[in-house]
Protein backbone atom coordinates (compact mmCIF):
# COMPACT_ATOMS: atom_id res chain seq x y z
CA UNK A 1 0.00 0.00 0.00
CA UNK A 2 1.27 3.47 -0.89
CA UNK A 3 1.64 5.92 2.00
CA UNK A 4 2.38 9.58 2.27
CA UNK A 5 5.35 10.22 4.49
CA UNK A 6 5.34 12.45 7.54
CA UNK A 7 8.28 14.07 9.17
CA UNK A 8 9.45 12.66 12.44
CA UNK A 9 8.47 15.04 15.21
CA UNK A 10 11.10 16.45 17.52
CA UNK A 11 10.80 15.42 21.16
CA UNK A 12 8.27 17.53 23.13
CA UNK A 13 6.64 18.88 19.99
CA UNK A 14 2.85 18.86 19.86
CA UNK A 15 1.14 15.92 18.19
CA UNK A 16 1.88 15.94 14.46
CA UNK A 17 -1.09 16.03 12.13
CA UNK A 18 -1.62 12.34 11.50
CA UNK A 19 -1.09 11.66 7.83
CA UNK A 20 -3.65 9.55 6.07
CA UNK A 21 -3.14 6.88 3.46
CA UNK A 22 -3.51 7.14 -0.30
CA UNK A 23 -7.26 6.47 -0.23
CA UNK A 24 -7.85 9.07 2.46
CA UNK A 25 -9.55 6.73 4.88
CA UNK A 26 -7.05 5.44 7.43
CA UNK A 27 -4.36 7.18 9.48
CA UNK A 28 -0.86 6.25 8.38
CA UNK A 29 0.06 2.78 9.60
CA UNK A 30 2.48 2.94 12.53
CA UNK A 31 2.70 -0.71 13.53
CA UNK A 32 3.36 -4.09 11.95
CA UNK A 33 -0.35 -4.93 11.57
CA UNK A 34 -0.49 -4.22 7.84
CA UNK A 35 -3.06 -6.92 7.10
CA UNK A 36 -5.81 -4.75 8.62
CA UNK A 37 -5.73 -2.26 5.74
CA UNK A 38 -6.26 -5.00 3.19
CA UNK A 39 -9.40 -6.23 4.94
CA UNK A 40 -10.65 -2.67 5.42
CA UNK A 41 -10.31 -1.84 1.72
CA UNK A 42 -11.68 -5.22 0.65
CA UNK A 43 -14.82 -4.59 2.75
CA UNK A 44 -14.98 -1.03 1.48
CA UNK A 45 -14.70 -2.12 -2.17
CA UNK A 46 -17.35 -4.84 -1.73
CA UNK A 47 -19.72 -2.28 -0.15
CA UNK A 48 -19.19 0.26 -2.95
CA UNK A 49 -19.56 -2.40 -5.66
CA UNK A 50 -22.85 -3.74 -4.32
CA UNK A 51 -24.18 -0.29 -3.50
CA UNK A 52 -23.61 0.84 -7.09
CA UNK A 53 -24.95 -2.45 -8.51
CA UNK A 54 -28.12 -2.56 -6.39
CA UNK A 55 -28.96 1.13 -6.64
CA UNK A 56 -28.16 1.04 -10.37
CA UNK A 57 -30.52 -1.90 -11.04
CA UNK A 58 -33.13 -0.24 -8.83
CA UNK A 59 -32.98 3.10 -10.67
CA UNK A 60 -32.86 1.40 -14.07
CA UNK A 61 -35.97 -0.66 -13.21
CA UNK A 62 -37.83 2.33 -11.82
CA UNK A 63 -37.33 4.20 -15.07
CA UNK A 64 -37.62 1.37 -17.57
CA UNK A 65 -40.48 -0.60 -16.03
CA UNK A 66 -42.52 2.20 -14.52
CA UNK A 67 -46.27 2.12 -15.09
CA UNK A 68 -47.04 4.54 -17.88
CA UNK A 69 -50.84 4.66 -17.65
CA UNK A 70 -53.17 4.07 -14.67
CA UNK A 71 -54.65 0.92 -16.11
CA UNK A 72 -51.50 -0.63 -17.58
CA UNK A 73 -51.34 -4.38 -16.74
CA UNK A 74 -48.17 -5.87 -15.21
CA UNK A 75 -45.53 -6.68 -17.83
CA UNK A 76 -44.55 -9.93 -16.11
CA UNK A 77 -46.14 -12.36 -13.68
CA UNK A 78 -42.90 -14.08 -12.61
CA UNK A 79 -42.83 -14.54 -8.80
CA UNK A 80 -39.46 -16.20 -8.35
CA UNK A 81 -36.37 -17.53 -10.09
CA UNK A 82 -34.57 -20.31 -8.28
CA UNK A 83 -31.17 -20.17 -10.05
CA UNK A 84 -31.06 -16.39 -9.51
CA UNK A 85 -31.91 -16.73 -5.80
CA UNK A 86 -29.24 -19.39 -5.32
CA UNK A 87 -26.67 -17.14 -7.00
CA UNK A 88 -27.49 -14.07 -4.89
CA UNK A 89 -27.40 -16.15 -1.71
CA UNK A 90 -24.24 -18.16 -2.37
CA UNK A 91 -22.05 -15.34 -3.70
CA UNK A 92 -22.67 -13.00 -0.71
CA UNK A 93 -22.23 -15.96 1.63
CA UNK A 94 -18.80 -16.65 0.16
CA UNK A 95 -17.89 -12.97 0.42
CA UNK A 96 -18.94 -12.65 4.07
CA UNK A 97 -17.17 -15.91 4.94
CA UNK A 98 -13.98 -14.49 3.43
CA UNK A 99 -14.45 -11.33 5.55
CA UNK A 100 -15.12 -13.42 8.64
CA UNK A 101 -12.07 -15.65 8.22
CA UNK A 102 -9.83 -12.69 7.40
CA UNK A 103 -11.17 -10.70 10.37
CA UNK A 104 -10.97 -13.67 12.71
CA UNK A 105 -7.32 -14.27 11.87
CA UNK A 106 -6.56 -10.56 12.35
CA UNK A 107 -8.38 -10.45 15.70
CA UNK A 108 -6.48 -13.54 16.82
CA UNK A 109 -3.17 -12.01 15.76
CA UNK A 110 -3.73 -8.83 17.78
CA UNK A 111 -5.07 -10.46 20.93
CA UNK A 112 -2.66 -13.39 21.35
CA UNK A 113 0.65 -11.75 22.16
CA UNK A 114 4.00 -13.30 21.26
CA UNK A 115 6.32 -13.97 24.20
CA UNK A 116 8.45 -10.95 23.37
CA UNK A 117 5.46 -8.62 23.79
CA UNK A 118 4.33 -10.37 26.98
CA UNK A 119 7.70 -9.64 28.54
CA UNK A 120 6.97 -5.94 27.95
CA UNK A 121 3.60 -5.89 29.71
CA UNK A 122 1.77 -2.63 30.46
CA UNK A 123 -1.58 -2.23 32.12
CA UNK A 124 -4.25 0.18 30.91
CA UNK A 125 -7.06 0.84 33.36
CA UNK A 126 -10.16 2.53 31.99
CA UNK A 127 -12.65 4.35 34.14
CA UNK A 128 -15.10 7.12 33.47
CA UNK A 129 -13.40 9.07 31.80
CA UNK A 130 -9.68 8.50 32.10
CA UNK A 131 -6.95 6.08 31.16
CA UNK A 132 -4.37 5.08 33.78
CA UNK A 133 -1.20 3.33 32.63
CA UNK A 134 1.22 1.12 34.55
CA UNK A 135 4.65 0.23 33.17
CA UNK A 136 6.67 -2.99 33.19
CA UNK A 137 8.85 -3.10 36.33
CA UNK A 138 8.10 0.49 37.30
CA UNK A 139 5.99 1.66 40.23
CA UNK A 140 4.97 5.00 38.72
CA UNK A 141 1.76 5.41 36.75
CA UNK A 142 0.71 7.94 34.16
CA UNK A 143 -2.67 9.36 33.25
CA UNK A 144 -4.00 9.82 29.73
CA UNK A 145 -0.46 9.59 28.35
CA UNK A 146 1.76 6.58 27.86
CA UNK A 147 5.26 5.98 26.50
CA UNK A 148 6.36 2.93 24.51
CA UNK A 149 9.59 2.12 22.66
CA UNK A 150 9.77 2.09 18.85
CA UNK A 151 10.12 -1.39 17.29
CA UNK A 152 9.66 -3.11 20.67
CA UNK A 153 6.55 -5.31 20.81
CA UNK A 154 4.30 -4.27 23.69
CA UNK A 155 1.33 -5.98 25.32
CA UNK A 156 -1.40 -4.14 27.23
CA UNK A 157 -3.51 -5.78 29.89
CA UNK A 158 -6.86 -3.99 29.72
CA UNK A 159 -9.02 -3.48 32.78
CA UNK A 160 -12.13 -1.44 33.55
CA UNK A 161 -13.20 -0.43 37.03
CA UNK A 162 -16.71 0.61 36.03
CA UNK A 163 -18.43 0.20 32.65
CA UNK A 164 -17.58 -1.00 29.15
CA UNK A 165 -14.88 0.98 27.35
CA UNK A 166 -12.74 0.13 24.30
CA UNK A 167 -9.02 0.56 23.67
CA UNK A 168 -8.75 1.89 20.14
CA UNK A 169 -5.44 2.94 18.62
CA UNK A 170 -6.14 3.52 14.94
CA UNK A 171 -2.54 4.24 13.85
CA UNK A 172 -1.47 0.87 15.28
CA UNK A 173 -4.56 -0.85 13.82
CA UNK A 174 -5.62 -2.32 17.17
CA UNK A 175 -8.90 -2.19 19.03
CA UNK A 176 -10.35 -4.23 21.85
CA UNK A 177 -13.22 -3.87 24.28
CA UNK A 178 -12.36 -3.25 27.92
CA UNK A 179 -14.80 -5.24 30.00
CA UNK A 180 -15.44 -4.79 33.73
CA UNK A 181 -14.59 -7.88 35.77
CA UNK A 182 -12.39 -9.39 33.11
CA UNK A 183 -8.84 -8.92 31.78
CA UNK A 184 -8.43 -8.49 28.03
CA UNK A 185 -5.13 -8.30 26.22
CA UNK A 186 -3.88 -6.61 23.10
CA UNK A 187 -0.44 -6.15 21.62
CA UNK A 188 1.31 -4.31 18.81
CA UNK A 189 4.76 -3.39 17.58
CA UNK A 190 5.09 0.35 16.90
CA UNK A 191 7.22 1.16 13.87
CA UNK A 192 7.15 4.97 13.85
CA UNK A 193 8.30 7.59 16.32
CA UNK A 194 5.68 10.16 17.28
CA UNK A 195 2.49 10.72 19.20
CA UNK A 196 -0.63 8.80 18.41
CA UNK A 197 -4.22 9.06 19.59
CA UNK A 198 -5.81 6.42 21.77
CA UNK A 199 -9.58 6.63 21.81
CA UNK A 200 -12.29 5.06 23.89
CA UNK A 201 -14.45 3.43 21.24
CA UNK A 202 -17.35 2.22 23.34
CA UNK A 203 -19.99 4.67 24.53
CA UNK A 204 -19.40 4.90 28.28
CA UNK A 205 -21.37 7.89 29.49
CA UNK A 206 -21.43 11.66 29.39
CA UNK A 207 -17.75 12.33 28.70
CA UNK A 208 -17.09 9.35 26.42
CA UNK A 209 -16.04 11.70 23.63
CA UNK A 210 -13.40 13.26 25.88
CA UNK A 211 -11.92 9.96 26.98
CA UNK A 212 -8.75 9.82 24.94
CA UNK A 213 -5.06 9.48 25.61
CA UNK A 214 -1.74 10.15 23.90
CA UNK A 215 0.60 7.31 23.04
CA UNK A 216 4.22 8.45 22.68
CA UNK A 217 6.45 6.16 20.65
CA UNK A 218 10.02 7.05 21.64
CA UNK A 219 13.55 5.75 21.32
CA UNK A 220 15.02 3.47 23.99
CA UNK A 221 17.20 6.36 25.23
CA UNK A 222 14.20 8.65 25.60
CA UNK A 223 12.28 5.88 27.39
CA UNK A 224 15.14 5.34 29.84
CA UNK A 225 14.58 8.90 31.12
CA UNK A 226 11.13 7.75 32.36
CA UNK A 227 9.25 10.75 30.92
CA UNK A 228 6.02 9.63 32.64
CA UNK A 229 7.52 10.28 36.04
CA UNK A 230 8.88 13.80 35.68
CA UNK A 231 7.67 15.40 38.85
CA UNK A 232 9.48 18.43 40.21
CA UNK A 233 8.53 19.26 43.79
CA UNK A 234 11.81 20.85 44.84
CA UNK A 235 10.02 24.12 45.76
CA UNK A 236 6.35 24.90 46.50
CA UNK A 237 6.17 26.79 43.18
CA UNK A 238 7.58 23.79 41.28
CA UNK A 239 5.17 21.45 43.06
CA UNK A 240 2.26 23.76 42.15
CA UNK A 241 3.38 23.65 38.52
CA UNK A 242 3.58 19.83 38.55
CA UNK A 243 0.18 19.81 40.26
CA UNK A 244 -1.25 22.09 37.57
CA UNK A 245 -0.24 19.68 34.83
CA UNK A 246 -1.70 16.72 36.72
CA UNK A 247 -4.87 18.79 37.25
CA UNK A 248 -5.25 19.21 33.50
CA UNK A 249 -4.87 15.46 32.98
CA UNK A 250 -7.22 14.05 35.59
CA UNK A 251 -9.21 16.81 37.35
CA UNK A 252 -10.07 19.45 34.75
CA UNK A 253 -12.95 17.49 33.26
CA UNK A 254 -14.98 18.08 36.46
CA UNK A 255 -13.37 20.96 38.38
CA UNK A 256 -12.74 24.47 37.13
CA UNK A 257 -10.15 26.79 38.65
CA UNK A 258 -11.92 30.08 37.91
CA UNK A 259 -15.06 29.70 40.01
CA UNK A 260 -17.31 28.46 37.19
CA UNK A 261 -19.62 25.69 38.39
CA UNK A 262 -19.09 22.30 36.73
CA UNK A 263 -19.71 18.64 37.62
CA UNK A 264 -17.68 19.20 40.81
CA UNK A 265 -17.01 22.34 42.85
CA UNK A 266 -14.48 24.82 41.51
CA UNK A 267 -11.06 24.83 43.13
CA UNK A 268 -10.98 28.59 43.24
CA UNK A 269 -11.53 29.80 46.77
CA UNK A 270 -10.71 26.52 48.51
CA UNK A 271 -7.86 28.50 50.05
CA UNK A 272 -7.73 32.23 50.70
CA UNK A 273 -4.81 34.56 51.26
CA UNK A 274 -4.72 36.70 54.36
CA UNK A 275 -3.50 40.28 54.34
CA UNK A 276 -0.17 39.10 55.79
CA UNK A 277 0.31 36.64 52.92
CA UNK A 278 -0.49 33.44 54.83
CA UNK A 279 -2.73 31.01 53.00
CA UNK A 280 -5.55 29.37 54.95
CA UNK A 281 -8.38 27.02 54.10
CA UNK A 282 -11.86 28.42 53.75
CA UNK A 283 -14.82 27.06 55.71
CA UNK A 284 -17.30 24.94 53.86
CA UNK A 285 -20.52 23.07 54.54
CA UNK A 286 -20.30 19.33 53.98
CA UNK A 287 -22.45 16.25 54.54
CA UNK A 288 -20.63 13.57 56.53
CA UNK A 289 -22.45 10.35 57.36
CA UNK A 290 -25.77 12.02 56.55
CA UNK A 291 -25.17 14.98 58.89
CA UNK A 292 -24.43 18.53 57.79
CA UNK A 293 -21.38 20.13 59.34
CA UNK A 294 -18.96 22.98 58.79
CA UNK A 295 -15.32 22.14 58.24
CA UNK A 296 -12.21 24.10 57.43
CA UNK A 297 -10.50 23.08 54.21
CA UNK A 298 -7.08 21.62 54.97
CA UNK A 299 -4.67 19.08 53.52
CA UNK A 300 -6.27 16.14 55.36
CA UNK A 301 -9.69 17.03 53.95
CA UNK A 302 -8.36 17.24 50.38
CA UNK A 303 -6.42 13.99 50.71
CA UNK A 304 -9.55 12.27 51.98
CA UNK A 305 -11.66 13.77 49.20
CA UNK A 306 -9.28 12.42 46.54
CA UNK A 307 -9.10 8.93 48.05
CA UNK A 308 -12.68 8.67 49.36
CA UNK A 309 -14.76 11.34 47.64
CA UNK A 310 -17.99 10.31 49.37
CA UNK A 311 -16.67 10.80 52.92
CA UNK A 312 -17.48 14.52 53.08
CA UNK A 313 -19.56 15.78 50.21
CA UNK A 314 -20.07 19.49 49.59
CA UNK A 315 -23.56 20.30 50.89
CA UNK A 316 -24.65 22.19 47.82
CA UNK A 317 -26.52 21.29 44.64
CA UNK A 318 -25.51 19.65 42.39
CA UNK A 319 -22.30 18.53 44.14
CA UNK A 320 -24.14 16.71 46.89
CA UNK A 321 -25.70 14.49 44.24
CA UNK A 322 -22.76 14.06 41.82
CA UNK A 323 -20.27 11.26 42.39
CA UNK A 324 -16.55 11.74 41.93
CA UNK A 325 -14.08 9.11 40.72
CA UNK A 326 -11.83 8.03 43.61
CA UNK A 327 -8.06 7.97 43.17
CA UNK A 328 -7.06 5.64 46.03
CA UNK A 329 -3.59 4.93 44.60
CA UNK A 330 -2.55 8.47 43.78
CA UNK A 331 0.91 8.99 45.25
CA UNK A 332 1.26 11.32 48.21
CA UNK A 333 3.73 13.66 46.45
CA UNK A 334 1.20 14.06 43.63
CA UNK A 335 -1.57 14.90 46.08
CA UNK A 336 0.78 17.44 47.66
CA UNK A 337 1.39 18.92 44.22
CA UNK A 338 -2.36 19.25 43.65
CA UNK A 339 -2.73 20.95 47.04
CA UNK A 340 0.09 23.39 46.20
CA UNK A 341 -1.72 24.15 42.97
CA UNK A 342 -5.01 24.76 44.85
CA UNK A 343 -3.17 27.09 47.21
CA UNK A 344 -1.68 28.97 44.27
CA UNK A 345 -5.24 29.81 43.22
CA UNK A 346 -5.90 31.63 46.52
CA UNK A 347 -7.04 35.23 46.28
CA UNK A 348 -6.69 37.99 48.79
CA UNK A 349 -9.67 38.05 51.12
Does residue 208 interact with ligand CUA by CB under 6 A? yes
Q: What is the CA radius of gyration of the chain?
A: 28
Does residue 211 interact with ligand CUA by CB under 6 A? yes
Q: Pick the closer one to ligand CUA by CB: 158 or 217.
A: 158
- Name the minimum Å distance from CB 247 to ligand CUA: 21
Q: Pick the closer one to ligand CUA by CB: 211 or 272.
A: 211
- Name the minimum Å distance from CB 204 to ligand CUA: 3
Does residue 126 interact with ligand CUA by CB under 6 A? yes
Kindly write out the interface string for residues 133-172 of this chain, putting x where it contacts ligand CUA by CB under 6 A and - elsewhere: --------------------------------x-------
Kindly write out the interface string for residues 167-206 of this chain, putting x where it contacts ligand CUA by CB under 6 A and - elsewhere: ---------------------------------x-xxx--
Burial 198-215 (b: 16+ CB within 10 A, else e): bbbbbebeeebeebbbeb
What strand order describes the sheet that includes 138-143?
138-143, 130-135, 121-127, 154-160, 184-188
Q: Which residues in 36-75 contact ligand CUA (CB under 6 A)?
A: none
Q: Pick the closer one to ligand CUA by CB: 198 or 339.
A: 198
Please state, in angstroms and rounded to a whole number, the distance separating the CA atoms of residues 132 and 246. 12
Please state, in angstroms and rounded to a whole number, the distance separating the CA atoms of residues 278 and 207. 38
3-class SS of residue 260: coil
Query: Is 155 exposed, middle or buried (CB count within 10 Å of its CB: 0-12, 13-18, 19+)?
Result: buried
Count CB atoms within 10 A of the CB of residue 280: 15
Residues near ligand CUA (CB under 6 A) are 126, 129, 165, 200, 202-204, 208, 211
Amino acid sequence: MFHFTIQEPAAQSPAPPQAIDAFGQLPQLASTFDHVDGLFYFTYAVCIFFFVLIVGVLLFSVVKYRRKTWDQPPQSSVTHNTPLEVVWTVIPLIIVMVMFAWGYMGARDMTIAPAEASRNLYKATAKQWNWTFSYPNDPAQSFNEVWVVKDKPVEFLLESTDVLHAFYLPAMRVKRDVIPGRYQTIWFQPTQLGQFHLFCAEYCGKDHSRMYAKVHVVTAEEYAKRPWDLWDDSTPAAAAKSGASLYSQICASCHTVNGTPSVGPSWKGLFVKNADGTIVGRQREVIEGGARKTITVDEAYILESIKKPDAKKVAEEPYVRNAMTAFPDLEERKIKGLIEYMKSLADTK
